[in-house]
Amino acid sequence: MSFGHVACIEQFKLGPCTAPRLFNGLWQMSSPAWGSASSAKQDIALTELVRCGLVGTDMADHYGDAELIYGGFRNRLPSEVADRVLASTKWCIFGPLEKPVTPEFVLEAVKERSRRLSGRVELLQFHWHDYSSKEYLQILAELVKIAKAQPSLVSAIGLCNFDTEHTVEVCEYLLKHLGEVGIVSNQVQYSLIDSRPTVGMAATCEKYGLKLLTYGSFCGGFLSDRWLGKPSPDVYSESLGLTPSQRKYYDMISTWGSWEELQALLQTLRRIAEKYDVSTSNIATRWVLDHAEVGAVIVGTRLGVSSNVSDNMNVFSFKLSDEDMAAIAVVNPPEKAKALFDRIGDCGGEYRKMH
């Protein structure tokens, strides 16, 4: 298998790995609501992504069979290709622990992810349910130790949906107890609509050497040509066939501003897109990528159901100019990020019980 387009794909350092700045996201495999395809079609879709050089894929312990499918796919690749494919998954703890935190408990959790992937985990991201229960600090210290001692099992450790305050807490705890930050990333929602990471997280990433892996950067597809000039949708209309994530992002848009403000933003993005001969979604993605704290944007991938890989690759064909950024800021001023932050809190609170 040969890699196409690889030369033009921007890359970044993710711990010891070199990763592309677009990741394939397999969260749609957590629910049949997004559609499903045969194993053969899923394999063809994954092969297309790898051929294009999009070798980083993000999944989780609760995304259905995503780990099993991706692990099986990776192990069928020629070794020289498989060695370049990056598996990023998550260990998510959504409720109180039933056993004490020990090195053995943490190691067993890591081994379970590796078992399901049938090989090494390049990035293991950790999500914790409740900041008032502090076991997560000890767990993260153990995870960092395991990555250092057993790199053939897990290469790097990251966070998932941690806010700024507790990302700082984790980094300081690891520095104090291990003498190093140890973690390499945090996965959070980040888009033109939800730019709360600019408020505090960006400076924290710079201080501690972290990179953000971002999801929701298309805002469920609302930041695309499909919605330009369209009326505000009835999100529960069966005829529209909106996905659960689109309903979630519509709520985010409503919190950010009005449908008319979204249309003004889309019009501006469309004008910029025409200048570079790319799609509106490419401009929305490029805007996120052009922030220094961002390592990669995670693009939801409906394996074998639909593919936007050729369009998504266009994001590497241009950079936004200062003039472009200024035009976007007119219809989406930075104050909107702070207003959203004040209204709903910091990034990272989407899937956590708040107190």
Q: pLDDT tens digits for 4-22?
A: 445 589 999 999 999 999 9
Among positive and negative, which fits the CA dihedral 198, 200, 206, 209? negative
Locate tokens 């600090």: which residue? 137
Q: Phi, psi (5° rounding) for residue 184? A: -120, -15
pLDDT reported for residue 3: 52
CATH level 3 topology of 10-344: TIM Barrel (3.20.20)
* 236 CB-near residues (< 8 Å, 6+ apart): 247
| Residue-level length of the chain | 355
Q: How many whole angstroms separate alpha carbon 18 and alpha carbon 118?
A: 21
pLDDT reported for residue 27: 60
CB 174 within 8 Å of CB 144:
yes
CB atoms within 10 A of CB 256: 23
Q: How many whole angstroms separate alpha carbon 120 and alpha carbon 153?
A: 5
Compute CA distances 244 → 43, 155, 220, 237, whole Å.
25, 33, 9, 12
pLDDT reported for residue 354: 43
CB 317 within 8 Å of CB 40:
no
Q: Phi, psi (5° rounding) for residue 99? A: -145, 155
pLDDT reported for residue 174: 98
Domain borders along the chain are: 10-344
Q: Are strands 17-20 and 11-14 parallel, antiparallel or unpaired?
A: antiparallel
Burial zone of 91 (CB within 10 Å; 0-12 exposed, 13-18 middle, 19+ buried):
buried
Mind listing the pLDDT tens digit for each residue in 135-177?
999 999 999 999 999 999 999 999 999 999 999 999 999 999 9
Spell 210-224 as b/e; 16+ CB within 10 A means b: bbbbbbbbbbbbbbb
CA 136 to chain centre: 21
Q: How many whole angstroms separate alpha carbon 174 and alpha carbon 41?
A: 43
For the chain, which ranges sit under pLDDT 50?
Answer: 4-5, 30-35, 304-306, 353-355
Helix axes 280-289, 259-276, angle to 10 degrees: 90
pLDDT reported for residue 38: 65
SS3 343: helix
pLDDT reported for residue 61: 86
pLDDT reported for residue 322: 97
